[in-house]
Each structure stands twice: as C-alpha cells, then as structure tokens.
C-alpha cells in the first residue's frame, strides 16, 4: 500500500492546499503525538487561511521514531478526529521535517539559529526541563543539564539547546526569539524563563542579560485529549485515506489553547484556528490543571488498579463517576473566576469528554510521571483547601490512590512499572515496607521536595490519606472506590 503523500486522497479527507516550501518560522522541540494533534493543527489552520513563513521544523530530543515515520512522507501525517458521531481524517502539512538531536545536533542548532526562526516551542513533558522540585529552579544535578553546563557547545537538553542557540544568535548579531512552552507546568512561561536564565547566568552573565532583553517566554494553557496511537489508528487511516501512515495520530474533536500574547518576533494568527490570546493565562491554567488533570490523575490510579483500561471504561462505573464529580466540585472551590468560563458547564463538558466512546485513552498512560504531576494537580489545591478549612477528602483519596499505585503491584499480584522519573527512589523507600498504610504513607510523604511541609505536618491530611490507603491495601481498590463513593454527598 502507498505511503501517505501529496497525491489526492478520497473525497472528504482534508489535505493541505498551501505552499509548504515556505521557510520554517517555528522550531518545535518534542514532536510527539500531542504537538501533532494540537499546535501543529492550529498552525495548519493558519497556513491554510493566511499562508506565511510559519512552517515547523520538528526536533526529537531522544528517539528517531517520529522522524523515521514523518520524513519519508515529507512531514505529512493523518489526524483522526474521534467523536461519538464517528471518525474523520485530515492530513496535516505544517511540519516540514523532523530532526533527531542525538544524530544531527548541528542541524538542530542551525535550525534554531536560522534568521527565519521566530518561535521555539516545546512539548517535552514536565520531566524534560531539568527542574529542581525543591527550589523550583534549575537542577544542576540532572545528568543532561550537568553535561550541558560542562560542554555547552554540545547540548543534550532542551534548555541547553535553547541557551546555546541564543548564544550563537547573539554572537552572530541576530535577534532573540520567543520561547513558547506548551507543557502542563504551572506558570510554564515563567518557569522556563527562570530555567533558561539560570543556565545562561551559569555560562555568562552578559548572555543572561541579553536574553532577558531580547527573548520572551509567554505562558500557555493547552488542552486536547490525545491517546497513544494503536494498530486501530493505523487501520482506520488505511480505510479512510487508502494510504499507509505510521505517523498518524488520533484525538478528540475538542481543542483549547490559551496563550499570553507576548511575542518578540511576531507570531502566526493562531486565533484563526481558535486559539485565545490573553494578558494572563493563570486562571485558565489552574482551572485545567486542577479540574481536568487532577480528576484525570485520580481516575487513572483508581481505574488502572480496578482493571479499567480506558478512561471511557471508568466513566461506565457509577462509583467512579460520582468521585469525579466530587473532585470537580472540590477543585472548583479553589479557583478564582475564569473569564468567559462557566465552571459548572466546564465540569460537565469534561465528563462528557472523558466518556467519549471513540477515544481509547489508557489509564496507565495517564498514570505515568506521577511525582511530576501531583504538585500542580492535587497538592496545590489541597493546600488551598487546608488553609481555607475546606474538606480534604477528594485530594486525600486521590493521593492515597497514587500511593497505592506507587507500590507497583496490582491486587492480583501482577507487577507493573511506574514510569516515573523517581521510580527507583520510590522503590527504595518502599522496598522493606510492610503493607501497612501508616508506614507506606509516611515514607512517601517524606519524599524530598514533593509534598509541601504544611501538608506533611497536618494531622488531618495524613489521617485522611492513611484511612483510605488502609482500605485500598486491605480490601482492594474496587472496594475502596465503592466505599468512598458511598460516603460522598448525593
């Protein structure tokens, strides 16, 4: 079967009609499924409507898989939109090519230093930034960060590449660019500004000062449920397009992008694709992190340990739906007003999205990287609830579920990997721990830099976790879910 290409496709399949030979104004670090289902789609919309020099040069910082799939297809790939009404195919053309950093580091630096490059965007997940959870700054003990500080001309990390590129642009008399973080980090633009600034300061104070003057770091909030591609993804692409496409991704119809409008060298008119530009994304970001992502984490741990493979399966369990509703209500109480958003309507829309029968979003996929996700999704709102003397039940239950998941073994005795950057540290802490809720909770609450001290020392918080974790350990996750749901207000 022919691979996906520029030739015409069956009727109803949207294909790019713009000039794809235009320069790349964007270099994107971390060209994975989410970028291909989100930012690249907004850019494809802009290029379709307005054209411009906004093609994307993608960069894979680790694996060559994305490049191997995309480059033989001239950067083209199929986006499947799955909704309750059916599935639609669309070919996205905004990615010109993908570079593999470990194989071609100088080509990556050349792309970052190109005069046409105006924006460097990132989706490298929370663990990709070399962030020290204790200080909120640069983790100089991170192997990639340490290597880049020692040999800045041979970068490995995203931060190392960005700073080295800016150093070369400065030396060559070129302007700075906008660094656009699209990962689920609180105040993500400010976080990346700090990391880049600290890295640059460690190299050269004059470079750090130049970056401060010539580079912007707008914050963003991104939202689109994007499960991992499966054999069914590729089978459906063949049915709809008649072509083979191992670069295809699938996603839901819903998409949201809130962006702080602070670009030093221009930007695409992403609002033509539905992006919303604001002065401050903070309220939107907290809403999404605490309501969507917080509930996602809770249901992922509980669902996975209850034998529910997909989020849609979780939504078929009345007890878990009740707990999701409770979590949404609790998270909403910690939020300031969000411009243009009805929070009750937003929560109902989230549950409808979770229940989408066409999206196979695995609970195990969501459960990964828990130590990177808990602070902004669960612990920050828990602190607000504690300080406001509000109920801690929703957060204590979710954190207890994470602790049960952190044991790495199902009620059946089957083991699994946590897929967490602190997996070995967690395993070491729990290695000789008996299945005693108080001991397990105590050891995990003592993980350095994870739990705020005010939570660790709050008896109500620890008691609430221990009580729930005890049920999970003694009676199993399904029993714990049923008992917790029964205790919720009707």
Total domains in the fold of the chain? 2
Domain span at residue 159 reads 24-278
Handedness of CA 311, 426, 328, 286 (dihedral sign): negative
Last residue within a domain, chosen from 278, 295, 322: 278
Stretch 225-245: mean pLDDT = 95
Last residue within a domain, chosen from 278, 309, 334: 278
Q: Which two tokens stand for residue 344?
A: 């009750």
Stretch 293-314: mean pLDDT = 98
Share of the chain above pLDDT 70, in %: 98
Last residue within a domain, chosen from 278, 302, 321: 278
Share of the chain above pLDDT 90, in %: 95
pLDDT for 15 equals: 85
In which band, very low, low, confident or very high, does the pLDDT at 8 lie, cut at 50, 70 and 90?
low
- Do both 123 and 30 map to the same domain? yes
Cα 309 from Cα 397, distance rounded (Å): 20
State pTM to two decimals: 0.91
Q: Does residue 169 sit within a domain?
A: yes
Stretch 431-458: mean pLDDT = 96
Which tens digits make up the pLDDT trace of 95-147? 999 999 999 999 999 999 999 999 999 999 999 999 998 888 999 999 999 99
Q: Which two tokens stand for residue 261?
A: 């409008």
Stretch 348-372: mean pLDDT = 97
Stretch 236-263: mean pLDDT = 96
| CATH code of the domain covering residue 330 | 1.10.1040.10
In which band, very low, low, confident or very high, does the pLDDT at 407 lie, cut at 50, 70 and 90?
very high
> Is pLDDT above 80 for 75?
yes
- Do both 399 and 445 map to the same domain? yes
> Is pLDDT above 60 for 6?
no
pLDDT for 454 equals: 95
In which band, very low, low, confident or very high, does the pLDDT at 3 lie, cut at 50, 70 and 90?
low
Which tens digits make up the pLDDT trace of 139-178? 999 999 999 999 999 999 999 999 999 999 999 999 999 9
- How many CA atoms lie less than 13 Å away from 96 in the CB half-sphere? 18
Q: Does residue 2 sit within a domain?
A: no
- Do both 101 and 231 map to the same domain? yes
> Is pLDDT above 80 for 489?
no
Q: Which two tokens stand for residue 64?
A: 């060559």
- Do both 216 and 302 map to the same domain? no
> Is pLDDT above 90 for 329?
yes
Q: How many residues does the chain have?
A: 490
Q: Does residue 240 sit within a domain?
A: yes
> Is pLDDT above 80 for 320?
yes
Q: Does residue 4 sit within a domain?
A: no
> Is pLDDT above 80 for 2?
no
- Do both 123 and 200 map to the same domain? yes
- Do both 458 and 443 map to the same domain? yes
- With CA atoms as reference, report the closest residue to 225 among 290, 310, 321: 310
> Is pLDDT above 80 for 429?
yes
301 CB contacts (<8 Å, ≥6 apart)? 363, 367, 370, 398, 401, 402, 404, 405
- What is the chain's mean pLDDT, rounded? 96
- Do both 419 and 306 map to the same domain? yes
Q: Does residue 14 sit within a domain?
A: no
Which tens digits make up the pLDDT trace of 362-372? 999 999 999 99
In which band, very low, low, confident or very high, does the pLDDT at 490 lie, cut at 50, 70 and 90?
low
Got the DSSP string for 47-108? HHHH--S-EEEEEESS-SHHHHHHGGGTT-EEEEEEETTEEEEEEE--EEEEEETTT-HHHH
pLDDT for 58 equals: 98
pLDDT for 164 equals: 98
Got the DSSP string for 122-158? E---GGGG-B-TTTSSB-TTSHHHHHHHH-TTS--SH
């Amino acid at each position: 079967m022919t691979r996906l290409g520029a030739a015409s496709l069956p009727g109803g399949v949207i294909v790019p009609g713009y000039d794809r030979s235009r320069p790349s104004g964007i270099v994107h670090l971390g060209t994975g499924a989410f970028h291909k289902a989100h930012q690249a789609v907004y850019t494809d919309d802009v290029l379709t409507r307005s054209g411009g020099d906004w093609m994307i040069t993608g960069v894979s910082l680790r694996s060559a898989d994305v490049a191997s799939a995309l480059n033989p297809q001239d950067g083209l790939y199929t986006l499947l939109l799955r909704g309750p009404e059916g599935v639609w195919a669309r070919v996205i053309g905004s990615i010109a090519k993908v570079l593999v950093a470990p194989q071609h580091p100088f080509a990556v630096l050349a792309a970052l230093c190109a005069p046409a490059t105006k924006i460097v965007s990132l989706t490298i997940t929370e663990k990709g930034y070399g962030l020290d959870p204790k200080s909120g700054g640069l983790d100089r003990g991170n192997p990639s960060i340490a290597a880049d500080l020692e040999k800045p001309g041979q970068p490995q990390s995203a931060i190392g590449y960005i700073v080295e590129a800016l150093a070369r642009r400065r030396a060559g008399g070129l302007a700075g660019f906008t660094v656009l973080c699209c990962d689920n980090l609180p105040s993500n633009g400010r976080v990346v500004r700090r990391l880049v600034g600290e890295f640059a300061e460690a190299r050269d104070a004059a470079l750090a000062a130049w970056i401060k003057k010539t580079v912007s770091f707008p914050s963003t909030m991104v939202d689109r449920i994007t499960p991992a591609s499966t054999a069914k993804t590729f089978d459906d692409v063949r049915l709809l397009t008649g072509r083979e496409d191992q670069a295809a991704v699938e996603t839901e119809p819903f998409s949201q992008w809130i962006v702080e409008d602070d670009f030093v060298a221009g930007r695409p008119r992403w609002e033509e694709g539905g992006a919303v530009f604001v002065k401050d994304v903070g309220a939107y970001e907290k809403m999404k992190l605490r309501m969507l992502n917080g509930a996602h984490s809770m249901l992922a741990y509980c669902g996975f340990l209850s034998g529910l493979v997909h989020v849609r399966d979780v939504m078929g369990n009345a007890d878990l739906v009740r707990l999701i509703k409770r979590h949404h209500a609790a998270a909403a109480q910690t939020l300031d007003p969000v411009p243009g958003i009805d929070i009750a309507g937003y929560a109902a829309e989230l549950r409808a999205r979770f229940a989408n029968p066409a999206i196979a979003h695995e609970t195990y996929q969501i459960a990964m990287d828990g130590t990177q996700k808990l602070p902004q999704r669960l612990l920050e709102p828990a602190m607000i609830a504690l300080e406001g003397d509000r109920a801690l039940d929703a957060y204590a239950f979710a954190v207890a579920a994470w602790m049960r998941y952190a044991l790495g073994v199902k009620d059946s005795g089957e083991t699994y990997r946590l897929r967490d950057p602190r997996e070995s540290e967690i395993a070491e802490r729990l290695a000789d721990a008996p299945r005693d809720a108080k001991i397990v909770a105590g050891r995990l609450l003592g993980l350095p830099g994870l739990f705020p001290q005010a939570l660790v020392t709050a008896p109500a918080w620890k008691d609430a976790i221990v009580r729930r974790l005890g049920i999970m350990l003694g009676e199993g996750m399904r029993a714990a879910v049923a008992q917790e749901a029964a205790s919720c207000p009707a």
